[in-house]
Amino acid sequence: LLTGPNLLIAVALGTSVYIWNASKASVTELANMGDLNQVTSVAWSDINRGNYLSVGTLDGKVQIWDVQH
């Protein structure tokens, strides 16, 4: 998912969530759910600001991450 003026893309891959910053051409691992869980969905909270990312997991939980801090 690409968001607003920050040009951030969130990518869920297996047990991890990565943030690609297009303006800096950098990739950072935001979260790792561990070997017993997987990321099933990601969604930005506000497309204009893109500060918070909701991460859904295989065990039915949702985590909210502040990607700016």
Question: 23-58, pLDDT tens digit by residue?
Answer: 888 999 999 999 899 999 999 886 566 578 999 999
Residue (of 36, 34, 30) closest to 54 by Cα position: 30
Question: 2-31, pLDDT tens digit by residue?
Answer: 555 668 889 999 999 999 988 888 999 999
Tokens 């017993």 -> residue: 36
Q: How far apart are CA 69 and CA 19, in angstroms?
A: 12
pTM score, two decimals?
0.81
- CB-CB neighbours of 44 under 10 Å: 20
- CB-CB neighbours of 28 under 10 Å: 12
